[in-house]
Structure 1
Amino acid sequence: MRSRRLTALALAAALLGPAAAVGAAAAPATAATTVRSHCTVTMSTTRPKQYSSTTARISHVGSRAKVVVKAKYKTTTNTKSTTATTAGKASVTYRISRATVGRRVPVTVTAKKGSHVWTCSTSFVPRHR
């Protein structure tokens, strides 16, 4: 049994070079695993008029998680950050201004707390005022 392991290590060292032999002898590293979950995001108005506002309402994220919301317009991406409440909710308001009428604006949300990451997305479509 020991000879098989040594043979496997020797083969790995021959194929991968000297770094493989050093890594094989070292204790295995414990990698931090990221836990991914889904959150929920809704827009207060999915068809907002130009020069009005719409609010992204986020829920089902961790208590006090750091939340980043990105709205991708035709020529720019508007990024806003906030912190979720202890109930795991947050909101971010976007001013529509002169956004291209009829062009869908994807909104993505990423919330992080420790090794836990929540993601969700939605969109809105600006219309004439």
Structure 2
Amino acid sequence: MEYLVGVILGLAVGGFAATSGFDRDRAFYPTVLIVIASYYALFAVMGESPYSTLAIEIAVGLVFSVFAILGFRKSLWLAAAALVGHGFFDFFVHQALVTNLGMPLWWPGFCGAIDLVIGGWLASRLWKASRTVRREGSLT
């Protein structure tokens, strides 16, 4: 069920961002990535996990935040790749790396699904935009 909810909410976030115009601002998807990556540290605090868990969660969140900043400044493709990468991190790496006592059992599936959908949504928008620019550029 968490996968389905993640996919539906991911589509809703992408659709809302596109229809509202929020995603016209380069900061939108990098900010989403930073917020998503910060939840693990929040769960560590809520679950009163050991400080080592909190330190790992903060360090991993900082790595994804660096990709968000680079995506904002250099290329949104980096933000899309980092969102998808965070989804794979949720599914395959997090549980092997750290035990976070505050993290709900359903969170990795939900977060992984929403990450993959939002990252894929952004990649799709970037790909379509690059094709439009190339097509319009070839007319002149």
TM-score normalised to structure 1 length: 0.28
Task: Looking at secondary structure, tell me which structure has more strand per residue.
Answer: 1
TM normalised by structure 2 equals: 0.26
Between structures 1 and 2, the one with greater helix share:
2
Query: Which one has the largest radius of gyration?
Result: 1
